[in-house]
Amino acid sequence: MKDFKVPALEKGLEILETLSASMAPMSLAELSRALGRSSSELFRMIGFLEERGYVAKEPHSGSYRLTLKLYELAHTHSPVENLIRAAAIPMRELAVAVGESCHLSVLRKSGLLVLLQEDSPLKYRLSVEVGGTFDALNTVSGRLLVAHLSPEEQSWLLRQHEGYLAMNEREREELHEKLAAIRETGYSHAEGEFHLGVSDYAVLVGNERIGLMAALAVPCLQLANRQAAGGPAVLEQLRLCAARITESLGLTTQTRR
C-alpha cells in the first residue's frame, strides 16, 4: 500500500471509528485521551462531522455519538449485490486453484439460498443451482451460518424449522453440539452427506457482528485418477478466498464473544 498521508481525513476517520467502538457517547476530552490528540486539534473536525450529520452532540452531557448517517450510506446499495460483486473474481480464482466448483449462500428465513456458483475448470464437476434453496440444518453451509447466529436469532430460526421441531431431545442435543463445534473451529465439514465420494467444506464470509454473513463452500468430488478430495489444502484456499471477499466488502472478520 502506498504511504499517502491525508491528515484531516485520518483524523476524521479516527473519530468515527472510536465512537463506533464505544459503548456510550464520548466527550471531547475522552476522545482526546483515546486518540492521543489535543482537544483543540479535534474540536474543528468533530464540529464539521456534526455539521454534516455523522455525529450528534448529546444536549444534556455535551458528549458525542454516531448518528445513523453511515448506516444510511451503507444501505444505499443492496448488500446482496455488493456481496456477489465482491465474490465473483475471488471465487473464479478459487475454482481454478482447487480444481473444484464453489458456491456462495446465505440464510433466508429457516432455509439456505444459493447466491453465486462458480464451476470447476475440470470436465467432471459438481454444480449447485443459483437461486436454489436447501435445508439449512442439512447442509454444511447452512449449519455454518446457523452456528454463527446470535443466540436469539438461532433460537428463532430453530423454532421455525420443521425438521428441528420433529427431532427428539437427543437429536437436538447432538445438533447443538455440532453447531458449537463448528463455531469453535470456524468451518463446517461433512463427508458423503448427499453424495458418496464428496467432501463438503464451508467457511464464513463477512462480519458476524454486523449481521452480514455468507457461507463459501466447496464440494470436493473424489475421482479415481487423482488424490483424495478436500483436506487442509482446500480449507486453506477457502479461507484465503473468504478473507479476500470480506476485505473487498470493506469489512473485517469479527465474531461475537
Q: pLDDT value at position 257?
A: 44
Same domain, 115 and 228: yes
Q: Distance between CA 21 and CA 13 in Å, rounded?
A: 12
Same domain, 43 and 58: yes
Q: pLDDT value at position 1?
A: 45
Q: pLDDT value at position 77?
A: 58
Q: Is residue 237 part of a domain?
A: yes
What are 213's strand-pairing partners? Answer: 206
Same domain, 133 and 223: yes
**CA end-to-end span of the chain, whole Å?**
31
Q: Is residue 101 part of a domain?
A: yes
Same domain, 55 and 124: no
Same domain, 133 and 56: no
Q: DSSP assignment of the chain, as one string?
A: ------HHHHHHHHHHHHHHH-SS-B-HHHHHHHHT--HHHHHHHHHHHHHTTSEEE-TTT--EEE-SHHHHHHTSS-HHHHHHHHHHHHHHHHHHHHTS-EEEEEEETTEEEEEEEE--SSSS-----TT-EEEGGGSHHHHHHHHTS-HHHHHHHHHH-HHHHTS-HHHHHHHHHHHHHHHHHSEEEEESSSSTTEEEEEEEEEEGGGTEEEEEEEEEEP-TTSPPS-SHHHHHHHHHHHHHHHHHTT-------
Residue where a domain stops, chosen among 50, 73, 96 = 73
Q: pLDDT value at position 74?
A: 65
Q: Is residue 223 part of a domain?
A: yes
Q: Is residue 254 part of a domain?
A: no
Q: Is residue 208 part of a domain?
A: yes
Residue where a domain stops, chosen among 32, 57, 73 = 73
Along the chain (257 residues), what's the average pLDDT of each consecutive run of 10 residues? 74 92 91 93 93 92 90 69 92 94 92 92 82 92 95 94 94 96 94 77 89 90 58 91 93 61
Same domain, 65 and 84: no
C-alpha to C-alpha distances, 220 to 91, 105, 230, 234, nearest whole angstrom:
15, 17, 6, 9
Q: Distance between CA 245 and CA 105 in Å, rounded?
A: 13
Same domain, 200 and 170: yes
Q: What is the pTM of this model?
A: 0.70
| Residue 137's CATH number | 3.30.450.40
Same domain, 142 and 220: yes
Residue where a domain stops, chosen among 47, 73, 99 = 73
Q: Is residue 257 part of a domain?
A: no
Same domain, 134 and 13: no
Q: Nine-digit cell at 47?
A: 464540529
| Residue 68's CATH number | 1.10.10.10
Same domain, 63 and 94: no
Q: Is residue 88 part of a domain?
A: yes
Q: Distance between CA 117 and CA 126 in Å, rounded?
A: 10
Q: Is residue 106 part of a domain?
A: yes
Q: pLDDT value at position 4?
A: 67
Number of folded domains in the chain?
2
Same domain, 146 and 235: yes
Report the sign of the C-alpha dihedral through residues 179, 139, 220, 118, in that order.
negative
User: Residue 117's domain spans which residues?
Assistant: 79-248
Same domain, 145 and 112: yes
Q: pLDDT value at position 191?
A: 86
User: Which pLDDT tens digit goes with each residue over 78-125?
Assistant: 778 889 999 999 999 999 999 899 999 999 888 999 999 999 888 877
